Structure 1
Amino acid sequence: MIILTGLGNPGGKYDATRHNIGFHVIDTLARNYHTEVNQKKFNSYYGEIRIGSEKVILVKPQTYMNRSGDSIGAWMRYFDLPEENLLVIYDDMDFAPGEIKLRAKGSGGTHNGMKSIIQHLGNSDFPRLRMGIGKPLWESTSQFVLGRFTSEEMPLMQQAVKEAAEAAETFVREGIQIAMNRHNTKKESKKSKELS
């Protein structure tokens, strides 16, 4: 069994914010597999799909971002899953809008949702998919992540959500290393083609 979780804040007023991009990837996966993420358990909405032969649980924590670990920790303990069976999808200011990057493990950086998950799991040895949202130019970090994408950023982010959903599927079917090799180099190869 695999758990795919996207991070975000609950409630309609946060739906289109940069911080909620992880939720949009989970919703895209649900649509692609003709299901809904509307069942409730462990302070989250969830849905179940099957990718290949693997049972997958799609999770959207409803605890607010800085307590995401409350929900994810409960899911992991309930099924007694190893960390490598979890993929966390979230926004990252270290990458430009539209870029995605998978990693097998690592720190949570400044992301409060990731810090919470690491605290609850007791380690940071779990795969993650980071989605670039860019850096604030003038506003505070909290204003920026709770703000909305610009009209220029929206097409990039829509494509990034589609690519992130594909990367999550690759992770389930073929593992984190193949997913990293296939999807992390995609942007670089595009840039190389443009320059050549």
Structure 2
Amino acid sequence: MKLLVGLGNPGAQYERTRHNVGFRVIDALAEKLGVRWERRGRAMIANATLEHEKVVLVKPITFMNNSGEAVGELQRWFKLEPEDILVVYDELDLPVGQLRVRARGSAGGHNGMKSLIQYLHTDQFPRLRVGIGRPANRRLDTINYVLGIPPKDEYITLLQTEDKALEAFSLILREGLDQAMNTLNVDPEAQRKAEEKRRLKQEREAARQQQATIGEKQAEDSSSPRA
């Protein structure tokens, strides 16, 4: 069994904010699987099956900075190991629209993750990070940024990325964490440059072969007997 945890803040005023990416992903997964939420301790949970694995979807209702209190209670209740807890949350250090999977690691300044590490007594649990980027205006306070509602174009990009996160959950459960990291942790810009480099190499090789063919034809013509 796995806990699939989305981090966010409860309340309608937070629903569309950058900081509630985790809640939105888990809500979308619950809707896709057709399951209902119920309260358990300091979290909302929903029981489901995904990729033939029993999973419990989790939304802590302790507010972001105390997320670990709720998750720690559920870990003890279900008697799970840290590696059985997969957390999805917003990441400032990733551009908007990028996903990254990690098997473990520090909180990286994210208060919700700090709380989880504190109450789980380890940072050895997997996480799915959804990029929200950093504010273009460096004078904008980080708290106001993450608790802000992004403009329309950015919000659409976030929603598209959240859809990809649903596929990532399935991939992780189906193929395992290592394979999921190999598949998902690809830098789109680096991939684009690699594809461009590969295309140019193919074009140069085609041009070289064409030139060689022309040279061979000219050699044949010059060596042919003339009347």
Normalised-by-shorter TM-score class:
over 0.9
What secondary structure is seen at the aligned counterpart in 1 of 2:152?
A: coil
Q: Look up the match of 1:15.
A: 15
Q: Look up the match of 1:170.
A: 171
Within a 5 Å distance, the mapping from 1:80-99 to structure 2 comes to 80-99=79-98
Of structures 1 and 2, the one with the larger relative CO (CA 8 A, separation 6+) is 1
Within a 5 Å distance, the mapping from 1:25-44 to structure 2 comes to 25-36=25-36, 38-44=37-43
Q: Look up the match of 1:131.
A: 130
RMSD: 1.6
- Contact kept? 1:4, 1:59, Cα under 8 Å: yes
Deviation at 1:151, TM superposition (A): 1.6
Between the aligned partners of 1:84 and 1:191, the Cα distance in structure 2 is: 33
Between the aligned partners of 1:174 and 1:84, the Cα distance in structure 2 is: 15
Q: Look up the match of 2:113.
A: 114
Q: Look up the match of 2:24.
A: 24
What secondary structure is seen at the aligned counterpart in 2 of 1:23?
A: helix
Choose between structure 1 and 2: higher helix proportion. 2
Deviation at 1:87, TM superposition (A): 0.5
Q: Look up the match of 2:216.
A: none
Amino acid at match of 2:4: L
What secondary structure is seen at the aligned counterpart in 2 of 1:45?
A: strand
- Cα 1:194–1:14 change in 2 (3 A) is farther
1:46 to 2:45 alignment? yes
Q: CA deviation digits over 1:144-177, x for unaligned, max 9?
A: 0000111221221111001111111111222211
* Further displaced range: 2-11 or 173-182: 173-182
> Size of the alignment, in residue pairs?
195
Question: Unpaired runs of 5+ in structure 1?
Answer: none
Deviation at 1:127, TM superposition (A): 0.1
Q: CA deviation digits over 1:99-125, x for unaligned, max 9?
A: 110000000011000000000011100
Question: Unpaired runs of 5+ in structure 2?
Answer: 200-227
Between the aligned partners of 2:162 and 2:191, the Cα distance in structure 1 is: 17
Between the aligned partners of 2:195 and 2:44, the Cα distance in structure 1 is: 41
- Contact kept? 2:51, 2:170, Cα under 8 Å: no
The percent of aligned pairs where both chains have the same amino acid is 43
Between the aligned partners of 1:189 and 1:159, the Cα distance in structure 2 is: 21
